[in-house]
Amino acid sequence: MNPFLLVSRSAEYESRLRALLGGRLTVITGEFLTFGVDAVMERVEGTPRIALLGPVLNFEETRGLLKELTERHPDIGLVVVREQRSDLEDWVDELSLHAVLSPLATDETTIELIRRLSAWLVVNGRADEQDFAMPIEEETGEASDDLLAALVSGAAAQTISDVDVDEDLVLELERDLDSLTQTEPEQEWEFPPLESGVRSEAIAVVAPKGGQGKTTIAINLATGLAEIAPNSVVLVDADLQFGDITAALGLTPERTIVEAAGAAAADELVLKTALTHHADGFFVVASAPSPEAGDAIAAAALAVLIGRLRTTFRYVIVDTTPGLGEHTLALLENVTDAIFVTNMSVPSLRAMRTEFELLRRLALTPANRHIILNQTDRQSGLTTRDVENIIGAPVDVEVPRSSAVLLASNRGVPLIHDDVRDPASKAIRSLVMRIAPDAQPKRARIHRRRRSNESE
């Protein structure tokens, strides 16, 4: 019977773990969670010794699985696979688990964690050495023999002095993991190849004035499209002066748009290193590290960057600087869609009308235009009809004002994954469906419910 169980929504992570653990790993894809925790539990065979949950499982799903697994297999070792995010501490506080592992941790770190936990289970009589041994006629796939040997012998050789055996071990392992997961990832990500005949779409999110919600829309659109085309979505922070996408997503980029738009990025491999991966299945080109560095990027170089990204990604989403500066104009010339975002204030609406008129004169209106009325509010004194009269065009999607937007951004989690029932979240999902009307999500949606201590 397989000692290791993985429940995950990430196909990439599944194949990575299979390569590490070979035939001793059972994988249950997170899609079964759409039918509830029981649907997953029905597929758990025998007595798994260590369960890895994630990546891309939400809090409620993880809690449900942890509860069921512990009830049925009280001796099981439980690992949550999740990136270090602002809310991770809550997870650790509220869930009884043995360790947290970053999905971006190196193979060595991952194996080391599993080895230590296996050893601890053996030392504590919760598992038998034999449980972790290789099955006799098992096909190990691409598993590294060295790593597997280290894992097995590590479990066997571990002595009581290596691991502090008492009820505080949970904390001990967490501390270990903290230090292990701090190491910077060296993950090489595979981009799914664009299917032949599939046209890449580039979508600019623009607004004549600042603070209308461009970044919020861009982040959540990328997140929603990544459910349809996992790892084939890139979100470019082309707000060259004050871009804040990586901060809003809790990412720490090693490289930025300065390298991505630099001459060296003509080489696909160099361009790849300028991307930062997000656990929800998309890539980010981070904003320039300073306004000066951003200003130094030529508008033409930005246009070239979008073209290059379109050869690799199904969807290229571009967040922009407010207004119609030369960079944004160059972008509008090179995209298939533009999303115009405005709130309900009359000056913003008038500015939007002026922007449309200017773009029409310059013959720069992209092929597909989507108008988002953001932060709608019944108290604004304006109806949608009034708004349409002012801007001279129909509104396509209305996104209500919602406190969940700020909560999600403070948590560093995309709204549509942070609070699926929120009306703003639902409205943004309708925008995703507008952009990709025929698409079927390849990943089940991620539903994270509000916690009891949060207000509705």
Ligand X SMILES: Nc1ncnc2c1ncn2[C@@H]1O[C@H](COP(=O)(O)OP(=O)(O)OP(=O)(O)O)[C@@H](O)[C@H]1O
Least CB distance to Mg ion at residue 336 (A)? 21
Among 375, 391, 432, 436, binds ligand X (CB under 6 A): 375
Minimum gap (Å) between residue 248 Cβ and Mg ion:
9
Contact between 435 and 337 under an 8 Å Cβ cutoff? The reply is yes
Give Cα 39 distance to the centre of its chain: 25
By CB under 6 A, the residues from 180 to 219 that bind ligand X are 207, 210-216
239 to 278: interface string for ligand X, x by CB under 6 A: x---------------------------------------
The interface partner of residue 405, options being ligand X, Mg ion, none and the CB cut-off 5 to 8 Å by kind, is ligand X
Structure tokens at 8: 């995950």
> Nearest residue to Mg ion, using CB?
215
Interacting span for ligand X (CB under 6 A) from 94-102, 129-137, 354-362, 394-402: 394-402
Which residue number, 66 or 431, has a Cβ lying nearer to ligand X? 431
Partner whose binding site includes residue 220, from ligand X, Mg ion, none (CB under 5 to 8 Å by kind) = none
Cβ distance to Mg ion smaller for residue 118 or 215: 215
398 interacts with ligand X by CB under 6 A: no
Does 291 contact ligand X by CB under 6 A?
Answer: no
- The span of 154-162, 309-317, 365-373, 404-412 binding ligand X (CB under 6 A) equals 404-412
CB 338, CB 370: distance < 8 Å:
yes
Question: Which residues have a Cβ under 8 Å from the Cβ of 453 and sit 6 or more positions away?
Answer: none
User: Is 399 within 8 Å of 238 (Cβ atoms)?
Assistant: no
Instruction: Between 248 and 275, name the residue whose CB sits nearer to ligand X.
Output: 248
Cα–Cα distance, 226 to 442 (Å, whole number): 9
Measure the CA dihedral 326/328/329/332, to 10°: 160
Taking a C-beta distance cutoff of 8 angstroms, is the pair 98, 117 a contact? yes
Total residues at the site for ligand X (CB under 6 A)? 19
Residue span binding ligand X (CB under 6 A) among the ranges 36-44, 124-132, 190-198, 400-408: 400-408
**Toward ligand X, which CB reaches closer, 200 or 425?**
425
For the chain, the straight-line distance linking the first and the last C-alpha, in angstroms and rounded, comes to 45
From the list ligand X, Mg ion, none, pick the one residue 409 interacts with, judged by a Cβ distance below 5 to 8 Å according to partner type: ligand X
We find the least distance from the C-beta atom of residue 274 to Mg ion, in angstroms, to be 20
Residue pointed to by tokens 């990412």: 251
* Minimum gap (Å) between residue 407 Cβ and Mg ion: 18
Is 314 or 411 the residue whose CB approaches Mg ion more closely?
Answer: 411
Decide whether 121 or 206 has the Cβ nearer to ligand X: 206
Find the shortest distance in angstroms from Cβ 423 to ligand X. Answer: 9
Residue 237 contacts which entry, ligand X, Mg ion, none (Cβ below 5-8 A, type-dependent): none
Catalog residues that contact Mg ion under the rule CB under 5 A: 214-215
The residue within the footprint of ligand X, chosen from 16, 350, 401, 450 (CB under 6 A), is 401
Q: Which residues bind ligand X (CB under 6 A)?
A: 207, 210-216, 239, 322, 374-375, 399, 401-402, 405-406, 409, 424
